[in-house]
Structure 1
Amino acid sequence: MENSSLGLDYFTSAPANSSTSLVYGFVIALFSLFFLERLFQSRKNALPLPPGPRGFPLVGNLLDMPKPTDFQAHHWAKHKDLYGPISSVSVFSKTMIVLNDPEVVNDLFEKRSIEFSSRPQQIFAADYMGWKHGTGLIKYNDSLRFQRKAMARILGTKSAAAQYNNLQEAEVGHFLLNMLESPQDLRQHLAKEAGTIILKLSYGYTTERSGKDPLLSIMNKAMEDLALAIVPGRYMVDNFPMMRYIPEWLPGGGWKKDGRRYAADVKYTVETPYKFVQKQMEQEKHEQSYLSQALETTEDTPMNVRNNKWTAASIFGAGSDTTVAVNSAFYLAMALFPEVQKRAQAEIDAVVGSDRLPVASDRKSLPYVDALVKEIIRWHPIVPMGLPHTNEKDAEYKGYRIPKHAILMPNVWLFTHDPTVYPDPFQVRPERFLKGQTLTAKNPPDPLSFAFGFGRRVCPGKLLADNTVYLTFAQSLAVYNIAKPVVDGKTIEPKAEFKASVISHPADYEVSVKPRSAHHEKMIRALEEKFPWQESNAKEFMEAAAS
């Protein structure tokens, strides 16, 4: 991710014919209004904010903020020793509340969920990129309730999620086949596996067997752009909303050009697959999917059309990249902790045997593999700082003021790396989640309770994602050995390093992935007959896009 220097680079270039006096007058007026607003608010409110570092006039704690390239959770974890379980910083007009204790998160996001279930205003991503109706960014309102209810209907229960077991098993099987052909392309194969499952589920769309797929490519690009845009500090307008009134040609307005470019991409990403499903249904060629069911069961009103479009797109956003991040962390961990891999393989061999692959119904009989899923999610939580919540009214917590529209950030990474709760937190030790073999006096919290969000913003697709991850882990272990690569006789040591992003992936690494035996290779190849490749819908999608 490039370092945007908190977006200040936009102030460094101006058209040659711009009026310097106009520029400075405009900026000074904005800062003056901001300062007066803050002064009024500070006098109006008597309760103190949670403790935090002392700020400077106007900019507040701008200099205390992590850079976009910093691993945010590590930065904010330091606040716990300095200021306690809840702390705060203020940048321009924004107050950020850092939650470094799961008990505080439970108090606010669970027990008081009706107060703390909205999302902070993401001015750039929502208003300028066009994501304001996306399920992940939308405020707590009727549209959100509609979207979550619709998602829960097809994803939110075990019985609802179970209807996709065959789809998941087929695509995990295709992933194993792809790994046999080109194991060096692990990251691409994981992305193809996760994306194909979600596109089939959301739109009834079948991706290309190999090479780039048009729909998968645009969806992945849109999610990458969004992940960059919502990094705190990436765009100054999110911290200083008055910047939205700066014309694009003035210094400080250059980010609007980015917004226009992204907005066109986002519109295409949301509208075009919707058109594809409509055309498939008109021709009675569609496969059953979330969107086809929604179109059949909801009235054709402008609000329903909008919500159906955005919910379908949001399912991809919530379930694709996150699944890739977990599965990528798993492959890295198996190379780094071979004794864990051997124990999991031994359990699979003993319970399932070597004549078939483990499936969803085997999970209860594979407690170590089930514990491994929990442990990988604990070892590297995919959204280390969670997704922020906000409150629509002023609130109070233990004598502290939480101002209206504060940004509340749960440090999920710190929760899962607390050595008093999870001893040896940087080691992968699935036995910590096995009954009778835990590493502490009492059973540790299930990290899945942190990983998929909190309160009324819990991910509706967590059961589906959890099953995809389990199947990928279990079936990979059943047929493959994952090891550190050996190049020219030297073992290459992968590093447990992770990227700084809202959804955090392992840094680039290399591992060796080989079939466990000739018999296991034969099992993999048999999957092509069991799950034959389907013809892609790429042609129909491009026709819909052109219409």
Structure 2
Amino acid sequence: MSLTILDILLGAVGVLLLHLIVSRNKTKLPLPPGPKGLPILGNVIDMPTSHEWLKFIDWSKKWGTLLTVSTLLCYADNALSGDIVSVTLLGQTIVILGSATHAVELLEKRSSNYSDRPKLIMGGEIVGWDQTLALTPYSERFREYRRFFHRFIGNRTNTMRFHPLVEKEMHNFLRRLQRAPDELAKHIRHTAGTIILTMSHGYKVHEESDSYLELVTVAIDQFTASTSPGAFLVDVLPALRYVPKWFPGAGFQKTADIWRKNLTDMTEIPFKFVQEQMRAGTVIPNFTSGLLESEKLDAQKVHNIKWSAASLYSGGADTTVSAIYGFFLAMTLFPEAQREAQAEIDAVIGQGRLPTLEDRDKLPYVEALIKEVLRFNPVAPLVMIRKFLHDPAVYEDPMIFKPSRYLASEGKQPEQDPKVWCFGFGRRVCPGQYLADVSVWLSCAMTLAAFDISHVVENGKVVEVENAYLSGTISHPKPFRCALKPRSSKAEALILAADEYRDS
């Protein structure tokens, strides 16, 4: 029996009403305070459509302090009080944690209760990102993904075997910067993608243009668009997913078809490449081939290997790109910190070679500078990490870029290491944090040794740069321009010597 338009609309309304009736009839514990919503709609019209974390921070400041211990005792314990806000969207409750203390208490100490993911209809269920680790609900599949990652890069020891790969690609990164400094963002993404695709699928990215890397880039951009709060009405009214594509206002269905195909291609094409290489005996050992060889395979296992590999390179590439791009923005805006880091490199290493990971412990200011880059503009601000990392009770003058805050001095202890929080919490902590840490450090340290980063000057005028970030689950700096110049003839020789790493 075919459905008419009226049937579909009545069905959607019926589902909504049933949801509201059931929600209202449930016995609910008191919720934390928050902005007063409208009947039925709740706080739908209050939700921002971009830079959501800024509104969440405002709500936390306004409403979080009103939460009393007696209210909180109704649903938690007295270890938590204040700085928690709740809003509702058509009966669905969102609780916003406004302090790192609460995040640790709930997301780490009670991670068995708070490791799930909300259902995102457009990006998750319709487009298909709920098959990747980012949106996979807490389940056996989620635990298997994490087991795969832990075995591959789950600790510093496992990650060390990839240090030569990262170092080689960072040398190549310097060469690209020297040849085409105006294409900074492209070079950062190319380098991160090369490292991740080599590790995940044993695939060598082509130097100029690469179809696999383009697949990843397009799909990641579409992930951000499909998961943005308030971007699609179907996330608020899930029954709309059953509206046919030809129905007026159902353009999201056609968009979803395109995005779903791109996501499928991003997952399937590299996976098939690994299978072909394995059959030919030419595979470069990688995450996917290792699992296919070591696991007892059935349909579900193959599915999990395929999608966990896609999660590895889609997630890892995007976060690392944001962090490294943020470093260049910070060095453009805060040249005094750049000069101090370069002075330390010159004093400890000299100008005859580039820094390596073996030098890391000898460069405390460089280490502090990179920590401050991660704190000042965290790559994942949506989960309130930005507020945690700008808490004046934890960081003195938190709105000032000050790497020295992490260095001990007479009568002063180093401030909180932002890496404790910026990689997430509990069972949802970033599984590639050790690889990301190494990649970001090498990129920043090598760049500081080789280049001066400054404002662009055109027609005698400085081109201003603003400390602005785009909206998204992973937030990237708003595109900006900076000037990159080798620090000296010796530095230029070191940069050009990166050519020898290209095909080694």
TM value normalised by structure 1: 0.85
- The letter of the residue matching 1:428 is F
Write the distance in 1 (CA, Å) between the matches of 2:104 and 2:248: 43
Q: 1:199 aligns with which of 197, 200, 203?
A: 197
Please tell me the residue identity of whatever aligns with 1:359: T
Q: Is the Cα–Cα contact under 8 Å of residues 15 and 239 in structure 2 kept in the other structure?
A: no
Shift of 1:48: 1.6
| SS of residue in 2 equivalent to 1:268 | helix
3-state DSSP class of the match of 1:95?
Answer: strand
Q: Deviation digits for residues 223-246 of structure 1, max 9, x if unmatched?
A: 111111111111222222222233
Q: Which residue of structure 2 lines up, in the alignment, with residue 433 of structure 1?
A: 406
Equivalent position to 1:503, from 456, 474, 493: 474
3-state SS of paired residue (2:216):
helix
Q: Whole-Å Cα distance in 2 between the matches of residues 65 and 335 of structure 1?
A: 33
Amino acid at match of 2:417: D
- CA deviations on 1:343-379 (whole Å, 9 max, x unpaired) are 1011111111211111111111111111111110100
User: Residue 36 of structure 1: CA displacement?
Assistant: 4.4
**Residue in 2 that maps onto 1:62:** 44
Distance 2:302 2:12 in 1: 39
1:317-356 alignment runs, 5 A limit? 317-356=314-353
Q: Which residue number in structure 2 is paired with residue 526 of structure 1?
A: 497
Deviations 1:469-513 (A, max 9, x none): 000000000010001111111122211111111111111111110
Counterpart of 1:389?
none
User: What is the rounded CA distance, in whole Å, between the counterparts of 1:131 and 1:43 in structure 2?
Assistant: 33
CA contact (8 A) 1:246 1:252 kept: no
Distance 1:35 1:437 in 2: 64
- Indicate the residue corresponding to 1:417 in structure 2: 390
Q: How does 1:387-398 map to 2 (within 5 A)?
A: none
Q: Show the counterpart of 1:234.
A: 231
- CA deviations 1:313-355 (Å, max 9, x no partner) are 1111111011111111111111111110111011111111211
Residue 479 in 1 paired to residue 454 in 2? no
Structure 1 residue corresponding to 2:132, chosen from 130, 134, 154: 134
CA contact (8 A) 1:384 1:503 kept: yes
CA contact (8 A) 1:431 1:437 kept: no
Q: How many Å apart are 1:298 and its aligned residue?
A: 1.0
Given that 1:93 and 1:239 are in contact with CA atoms closer than 8 Å, whether structure 2 keeps it comes out as no
Root-mean-square deviation (CA, aligned residues, Å) is: 1.8
2:359 and 2:438 mapped to 1: Cα distance? 12
Task: Find the residue that maps to 1:473 and give its secondary structure.
Answer: helix
Once the 2 structures are TM-superposed, how far is the Cα of residue 182 of structure 1 from its aligned partner? Answer: 0.7
Does 1:179 find its partner at 2:149?
Answer: no
Q: Which has the higher contact order (CA 8 A, sep 6+)?
A: 1
Q: Which runs of 5+ in 1 are unaligned?
A: 1-17, 386-409, 535-547
Specify which of 50, 54, 76 is matched with residue 56 of structure 2.
76
Pick aligned residue for 2:369 from 369, 372, 385: 372
**What does residue 266 of structure 1 align with?**
263
> Partner of 2:131: helix, strand, or coil?
coil
Contact 1:35 1:58 in 2 (8 A): no
Name the amino acid aligned to 2:19.
E
Further displaced range: 456-465 or 414-423 = 414-423
- In structure 2, how many angstroms separate the alpha carbons of the residues matched to 1:137 and 1:235? 17
* 1:228-307 aligned within 5 A: 228-307=225-304
Report the counterpart of residue 103 of structure 1 in structure 2.
Answer: 101
1:351 and 1:335 map into 2 onto residues whose CA distance is: 24
Matched, 1:150 2:148: yes
One-letter amino acid of the structure 1 residue matched with residue 149 of structure 2: M
Counterpart code for 2:177: M
Runs of 5+ consecutive residues of structure 2 not aligned to the other structure: 65-82
Are the aligned partners of 2:35 and 2:59 in contact in 1 as well (CA < 8 Å)?
A: no
Equivalent residue letter for 1:423:
E
CA-CA distance at 1:450 after TM superposition: 1.9
Contact residue 270 and residue 309 of structure 1 kept, 8 A: yes
- 8 A Cα contact 2:84 2:95, kept in partner: yes
> Deviation per CA, 1:280-322, whole angstroms, max 9, x where unpaired?
1111111111111111111221111101101111111111011
Choose 126-135 or 505-514, whichever is displaced more. 126-135
Residue among 417, 430, 437 paired with 1:446: 417
Q: Secondary structure at the match of 2:31?
A: coil
Distance 1:437 1:100, change over 3 A: farther
2:101 is aligned with what amino acid? E
Corresponding position of 2:76: none
Distance 2:473 2:99 in 1: 19
2:122 is aligned with what amino acid? F
Rounded Cα–Cα distance in structure 2 between residues aligned with 1:381 and 1:437: 29
By how many angstroms is 1:468 displaced? Answer: 0.3
**Equivalent in the alignment of 2:90:** 92
Is 2:189–2:321's contact at 8 Å kept on the other side of the alignment?
yes
Kept in 2, the 8 Å contact 1:318–1:459? The answer is no
1:419-475 deviation line (CA, Å, top 9, x unaligned): 23222323221111112279xx65432211222111001111100011000000000
Whole-angstrom distance in 2 between the partners of 1:94 and 1:240: 11
Residue 87 of structure 1 aligns to a residue in which SS? strand
Q: Do the aligned residues in 2 keep the contact of 1:247 with 1:253 (CA within 8 Å)?
A: yes
Deviations 1:160-186 (Å, cap 9, x if unpaired)? 111111100111111100111010111
1:310 equivalent among 302, 307, 310? 307
Q: Distance in 1 between matches of 2:260 and 2:355?
A: 43
CA shift in 2, pair 1:300/1:493, >3 Å: same
Matches of 1:172 and 1:131 in 2, distance apart?
A: 30
Name the SS of the counterpart of 2:229 in structure 1.
coil
- 1:304, 1:122 → 2: CA distance? 24
* Partner SS for 1:132: helix
SS, match of residue 138 in structure 1: coil
Q: TM-score normalized by structure 2?
A: 0.92
Alignment partner of 1:295: what SS? Answer: helix
